[in-house]
Structure 1
Amino acid sequence: MRISMQYLNTAAYVNRLDERYKPQYEITKLDLNHTDWHSWRTDFRSKLAKLTGLSDMQSQFSAVPLQVRAVSREERSDYTIEKLFVTAEPGVEIPFYLLLPLGKGEGCYPLVLTPHGHGPRGKETYVGHYADEADRAENEAGERDIALQAVKAGYAAIAMDVRGFAEMGRRQEWEQNKGSSCLELQRISLLYGRTLIGERVFDIGRLIDYAATRPEIDTSRIAITGNSGGGTVSLFAAALDERITVCAPSSYFCTFRDSIMAMHHCSCNYIPGILQLGEMYDVAALVAPRPLLLINGKDDMIFPIEAAKEAFSYVHAVYAAQGAADRCRQFVGHEGHRYYKEPVWPFMKQYLSR
């Protein structure tokens, strides 16, 4: 017997959801010139922190001692590199490198945080520790040695493993060469009302707490930049932690509908209920009026450029309404899904200088 099949009309289903769930903080529905931006930011940030699980983590673990553990320190030609661990929450340590310039600048350096994207080597790539020459060639072509770029530009740099990768991943996935533990850790976090994005942002906050203990670092000037998944962490961290003064996410900014929802992405990208609060451009608007550089590749197939440009127009309008239009920029690189360093360091210099 031949069975006739009927399938779900996804487009119609999503349209019905859009009609039912109106984002509470959608900037496209606001009168931008008559919005109380302080109240909008305060309310939205509070609810986003709760939705990601960040606020719960902060209330439970922000007072936990950092318990710094130093592993190594090496002096190279123009910078030092230290490997350290610091406590995030009981039983969880954040492994990271701290890079400090040698013989440059004023002695109290602005800090650049460099969360990495999806790659099995995590922080090692961002400090130029490559598995082999093929790994070096691939990552240097994509300009992913971001912590090295930062320290050579005269900044202190922190390159950390984000949860789910390398030393923040699980042994099971590492032994099976799966590349990351995102799926397994996201499953666990969701069952406890948390998300990997919230956990990664919390870890960024703990690293800022640590940086404040170092006399070499000026924590009144903190930037964050990373590629792909590192762009995700960069954007959400800046949106949720006002101690971050400059934000430059690469190969992430778009809309949830045209990227995260439109095609397969890693499970770590998902925050249950986010579209009831706002779109990705609404999250980005939380950074205003602090300097924000949104970096995209014109041929990035998983974060389509036309949607990214439209989303940027909404964010830029919010900056303009707050008298800070010049602080919000978009750079479109000539290739696809990769880091583009060309606009980053001039932007950092402009806004991290005293």
Structure 2
Amino acid sequence: MKRRAFVALPAVALAAGQLPASPAAGAPPAGLSAGTFEGPSVVTGNMPVFAEQLKAELDFPLAWTGRGSFPAWQRRARAKFRELLLQPEDRTAFDVEIIDEQPRDGYRQRQVLFNVTRHSRVRALMLVPDGPGPHPAALLLHDHGSKFDIGKEKLIEPWYDETRLASARAWIETLFSARFLGNTLVERGYAVLAVDSLGWGDRGGLTYEGQQALASNLYNMGSSLAGLLAYEDMRAAALLAALPEVDSRRIAAIGFSMGGYRAWQVAALSRHIAATVSVCWMTGLKEMMVTGNNTLRGGSAFHMLHPGLAQFLDIPDVASIAAPRPMMVFNGELDKLFSVEGVEVAYRKMRAVWESQRAGDRLTTKLWTGLGHTFNAEMQDEAFAFLDRWLARP
């Protein structure tokens, strides 16, 4: 039997991952060149010490290059994104049931039940203008905000629950200039629909600390939290398109913060979305993954994390799958969640795609000077005028 010769203690220590004393702080051990040994602090700020190398390797090979057939690229990019949702096709009948309908001044307010997937029957809120339809419509997508007691109620005034009404009013006073977006839109002639995502409102029980466990448990069962969120939004868009009160050719997706992410995401995935307004969620991926960014904390990031997607597409590349349909993207200059650099990188990428399709007039991007993470009345007025331009008339 062969005997193995063991080297001196310093090498053994290296094999065990222990760093022997170094003559100078930060200097590599003797015999090792810089960059070959990580040392004891291989994770800093929730990032691996080789994070920059990982980011440098991301070249987003499935991004639109401006060459070849754009529709063929859309099909490839959408198919890859759809695959990474980890959600099987679900053709469960919606089986819509109106459980409450009340007249308001110029419109009707409804509570409806429908099967958002084969596993979940949910309660949604809908507002429908009076008068003959079919009407243009808006799928309203609620934010995260680490506020789980309300979801759909952040967007449509709840008339059925005083506790939720008080919570919702406080929320919109902080972020939306005291306006319920859905109630404002129905007064402009749009039918609107809002649904709770898993963990919010009627589907509650989620906490900030519980998000990572929920996500990992779904991963363990072959599913994905972000993928489920995206697929449910696709189903909600399909439901709107199937309703007799709605013009299926004139449906918008509208959202703020995580809802803004969801808005361009569902536009990329669903052909039912004819126009999009996304507020306060757009950036380049590499520019987002920097020390101090909220994404590095984990938690809420899992609602927007599709494993493996970054090997193919950057964030604005995904949104660009929706081109050349009309899209408006707003960000705030002072928004601490997204750097100006990241926003500008994303806007440039998206602009190149829309202009390559001679549709530059259909894309509006704006970095609002002096504003942070908000969707105030001035922004809303500009956004709703954008929708009127593209959707108000058949």
TM-score tier by shorter-chain length is: 0.7 to 0.9
Structure-2 change in CA distance of 1:211 and 1:93 (3 Å): same
Residue matched to 1:230:
259
Residue matched to 2:80:
47
**C-alpha distance in structure 2 between counterparts of 1:109 and 1:261, whole Å:** 44
**Aligned pairs (5 A) from 1:9-88:** 10=47, 13-27=50-64, 30=65, 32=66, 34-54=67-87, 56=88, 58=89, 61-62=90-91, 64-88=92-116
Counterpart of 1:117 (choices 143, 146, 149) is 143
Give the share of equivalent positions with the same residue, in percent: 23
Number of residues paired by the alignment?
A: 336
Counterpart of 2:331 (choices 267, 277, 296) is 296
Residue matched to 1:346:
385
Partner of 2:252: helix, strand, or coil? strand
Partner of 2:324: helix, strand, or coil? coil
Structure-2 change in CA distance of 1:78 and 1:182 (3 Å): farther
- Give deviations 1:215-254, integer Å, cap 9, x for gaps: 2111111100111111111111111111211011111011
**C-alpha distance in structure 2 between counterparts of 1:98 and 1:348, whole Å:** 19
**C-alpha distance in structure 1 between counterparts of 2:114 and 2:290, whole Å:** 35
- Give deviations 1:89-133, integer Å, cap 9, x for gaps: 233123211101125xx5210110001011321111211237466
Residue matched to 1:187:
216
**C-alpha distance in structure 1 between counterparts of 2:326 and 2:350, whole Å:** 12
Tell whether the 8 Å contact from 2:117 to 2:235 is kept in structure 1 after alignment: no
Structure-2 change in CA distance of 1:116 and 1:134 (3 Å): closer
Tell whether the 8 Å contact from 1:84 to 1:95 is kept in structure 2 after alignment: yes
Residue matched to 1:313:
348
Structure-2 change in CA distance of 1:260 and 1:109 (3 Å): farther
Shift of 1:78: 2.4
Kindly provide the amino acid, as one letter, of the partner of residue 6 in structure 1.
Answer: P
- Give deviations 1:135-173, integer Å, cap 9, x for gaps: 524413421622122212210000111122111233xx4
Q: Which runs of 5+ in 2 are unaligned?
A: 1-19, 22-38
* TM-score of the aligned structures, taking structure 2 as reference length: 0.78
**C-alpha distance in structure 2 between counterparts of 1:220 and 1:141, whole Å:** 34
**Aligned pairs (5 A) from 1:104-253:** 107-118=133-144, 119-120=147-148, 121-129=150-158, 131=164, 136-143=169-176, 145-170=180-205, 173=206, 178=207, 182-253=211-282
Structure exhibiting the larger radius of gyration computed from Cα positions: 2
Residue matched to 2:304:
269
**C-alpha distance in structure 2 between counterparts of 1:132 and 1:158, whole Å:** 17
**C-alpha distance in structure 2 between counterparts of 1:205 and 1:132, whole Å:** 27
**C-alpha distance in structure 2 between counterparts of 1:131 and 1:337, whole Å:** 23
Q: Which runs of 5+ in 1 are unaligned?
A: none
* TM-score of the aligned structures, taking structure 1 as reference length: 0.87
Structure-2 change in CA distance of 1:317 and 1:209 (3 Å): closer
Kindly provide the amino acid, as one letter, of the partner of residue 200 in structure 2.
Answer: F
- Give deviations 1:295-350, integer Å, cap 9, x for gaps: 11111101223311221011101111111011111123341112231321111011
Kindly provide the amino acid, as one letter, of the partner of residue 68 in structure 1.
Answer: V
Structure-2 change in CA distance of 1:293 and 1:68 (3 Å): same
Residue matched to 1:91:
119
**C-alpha distance in structure 1 between counterparts of 2:105 and 2:208, whole Å:** 32
Kindly provide the amino acid, as one letter, of the partner of residue 349 in structure 1.
Answer: D
Structure-2 change in CA distance of 1:169 and 1:184 (3 Å): farther
Residue matched to 1:325:
360
Structure-2 change in CA distance of 1:96 and 1:282 (3 Å): same
Partner of 1:206: helix, strand, or coil? helix
Tell whether the 8 Å contact from 1:94 to 1:203 is kept in structure 2 after alignment: no
RMSD (Å), alpha carbons = 2.5
